[in-house]
Amino acid sequence: MIATVLPGLDVSEAMRKISSGGWTDRRLIEPTEHELPAKALLTDPMREAAAQVRVGEASPTLPRFHRPEPDFAPKVSNVQVYVLQPFRYGTGEGRMPAIVTTVVSTVPAPVAKRAIAAGLASEVEPPNLASLHARRPAAITGVNVFAFHDLGFDLADWKSEQVARRRAEWLAEQDLQAA
């Protein structure tokens, strides 16, 4: 192949028949039955692309390398809050909502932020903490999940939005378009 591209390069017949680790025969190497699936997936498309380049139907310019995309999923920390009133929040499409009933609970930070804004939780210890403990049992059983106050927030949707936003920002930095 290289001898045909560089006409000034003289390759002897003896060099073509190297016996120590090289081909001793100019015939094509026939694939075995186990190599045929790989041939169809790997070498055949490459051969077709090379043929298109040779006849001028495709550009010989190789595609530009792009860095692999980083992981855009947000790292969600948990925050301890004092629950003034039990509430629930979404955990994803088709999944049961999470309920928060214990007086002192640890919840994801975005959930805590919205619960505090809605007046359902507090970052600081409330003055009526003892009465909250007395009025609310440690475990609430037999109550419909949907009877609790809905926070109107879905953590899975929030994560998806964060991933989409971060990816769009990264693509803008890389001067690329979303695929």
Run of H or E residues at 134: helix 129-135
Rounded CA gap, 176 and 68, in Å? 12
Domain ranges of the chain: 78-173
Site of tokens 């925050």: 79
DSSP H stretches of helix in the chain: 2-5, 13-16, 36-38, 44-54, 109-117, 129-135, 155-174
pLDDT above 70: residue 34: yes
Q: In the chain, what is the greatest distance between 2 CA atoms, to the nearest angstrom? A: 97
Could you report the per-residue pLDDT of 162-171, keeping only the tens digit for each?
A: 999 999 998 8
Which residues, in sequence order, are bridge partners of residue 105? 81
Mean pLDDT, range 63-87, rounded to an integer: 88
Residue type, 172: A
Could you report the per-residue pLDDT of 90-106, keeping only the tens digit for each?
A: 998 888 899 998 889 99
- Whole-number pLDDT of residue 62: 76
Rounded CA gap, 6 and 10, in Å? 9
Residues 82/124, Cβ–Cβ less than 8 Å: yes
Q: Model's pTM, two decimal places?
A: 0.58
Could you report the per-residue pLDDT of 51-71, keeping only the tens digit for each?
A: 999 999 988 887 776 778 889
Rounded CA gap, 55 and 58, in Å? 8
Residue type, 142: G
